[in-house]
């Protein structure tokens, strides 16, 4: 009797352990808050975000999310129970254009989620997931985009007369700031403040600005070249620019002297701001990206990863 009781007890413990093994995957199922995650790799080496996968017993969710200044231009996704079911060439290179799920993202977006019917894929089903994306971003070595950033009216202080413009542009590796006058106004001195962290103190102390051209001798334009490397600027960083002038205009009754400030709206409630801001973007590099995992049989670097339904 004792032996039978012992055997029965062992059998019950074994059955309980077996049931626990079967049930336990459900207790550790991936959720939106705690998904399976793999890197989204662009250009073979650049980590531009993540691909996250989870399920709720009804649907499988695959989420693309980029980081930094990268964004998605398009996504292609295929999920299958065998590698052979993922569309490929005869040489084993995947064909994203033939993937079952796809979406074009315009404008460029930072995340997108597919919800797929589990279609009978129960717990422990192993899935082959090919997650492809087109992404655009600054690349491994960011290069600032070239061209005009802003044109701001140069106003005479205090009357707010329109006396010219101040332009800010990226040319090569420099920020180029140009003062231009109109209607007979002439530049005597110019003073420039450029900073990536904060605007100038109030009121702007133009005599202490880091860049200055004095004794210009009555000219209609003046240009500064400020190396972008000296500003500690990152992609899509903001620059605070304060541009001040001393000017003269000769009238029939004699010379008229005025200070000038580049100000987008000097008569807004509260008075003169006496500085403006520009955003400096980086030149975008567009790449192909894949959810990190195993290599396809072909010779290109395309990848797929495995996901077990839980």
Say yes or no: 182 and 128 in one domain: no
Query: pLDDT by residue (tens digit) across 230-257?
Result: 999 988 899 999 999 999 999 999 999 9
Q: What angle do CA 295, 298, 301 make, to 5 degrees?
A: 50
Say yes or no: 152 and 276 in one domain: yes
Q: Which domain holds residue 248?
A: 147-280
Tally the residues of the chain.
310
Say yes or no: 36 and 115 in one domain: yes
> Which residue shows structure tokens 């290179």?
93
H-helix or E-strand spanning residue 14: helix 2-27
Q: What angle do CA 267, 272, 277 make, to 5 degrees?
A: 105
pLDDT, residue 119, reads 81
Say yes or no: 303 and 261 in one domain: no
pTM, full prediction:
0.69
Query: pLDDT by residue (tens digit) across 94-152?
Result: 999 999 999 999 889 999 999 999 988 999 999 999 999 999 998 888 899 999 999 99
Domain assignment present for residue 252? The answer is: yes
Query: pLDDT by residue (tens digit) across 261-273?
Result: 999 989 877 789 9
Report residue 155: phi and psi, to 5°. -110, 140
Query: pLDDT by residue (tens digit) across 35-62?
Result: 999 999 999 999 999 999 999 989 999 9
Integer CA distances (angstroms), 7 to 2, 3, 12, 14, 21, in order: 9, 6, 9, 10, 21
Say yes or no: 207 and 273 in one domain: yes
pLDDT, residue 39, reads 98
């Amino acid at each position: 009797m004792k032996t039978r009781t012992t055997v029965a007890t062992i059998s019950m413990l074994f059955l309980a352990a077996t049931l626990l093994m079967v049930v336990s995957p459900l207790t550790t199922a991936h959720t939106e808050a705690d998904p399976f995650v793999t890197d989204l790799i662009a250009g073979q080496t650049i980590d531009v975000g993540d691909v996250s996968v989870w399920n709720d017993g009804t649907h499988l969710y695959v989420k693309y999310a980029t980081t930094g200044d990268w964004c998605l231009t398009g996504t292609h996704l295929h999920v299958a129970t065998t590698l052979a079911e993922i569309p490929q060439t005869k040489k084993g290179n995947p064909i994203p254009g033939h993937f079952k799920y796809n979406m074009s993202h315009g404008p460029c977006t930072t995340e997108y989620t597919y919800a797929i019917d589990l279609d009978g894929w129960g717990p422990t089903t192993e899935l082959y997931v090919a997650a492809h994306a087109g992404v655009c971003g600054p690349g491994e070595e960011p290069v600032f985009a070239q061209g005009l950033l802003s044109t701001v009216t140069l106003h005479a202080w205090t009357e707010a007369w329109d006396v010219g413009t101040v332009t800010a542009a990226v040319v090569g590796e420099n920020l180029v700031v140009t003062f231009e006058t109109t209607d007979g106004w002439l530049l005597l001195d110019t003073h420039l403040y450029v900073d990536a962290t904060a605007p100038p103190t109030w009121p702007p102390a133009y005599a202490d600005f880091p860049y200055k051209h004095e004794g210009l001798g009555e000219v209609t334009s003046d240009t500064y070249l400020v190396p972008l490397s000296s500003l500690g600027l990152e992609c899509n960083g903001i620059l605070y620019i304060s541009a001040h002038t001393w000017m003269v205009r000769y009238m029939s009754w004699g010379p008229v002297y005025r200070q000038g400030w580049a100000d987008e709206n000097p008569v807004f409630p509260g008075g003169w701001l006496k500085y403006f801001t520009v955003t400096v973007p980086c030149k975008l590099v567009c790449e192909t990206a894949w959810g990190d995992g195993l290599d396809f049989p072909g010779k290109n670097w395309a990848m797929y990863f495995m996901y077990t339904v839980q």
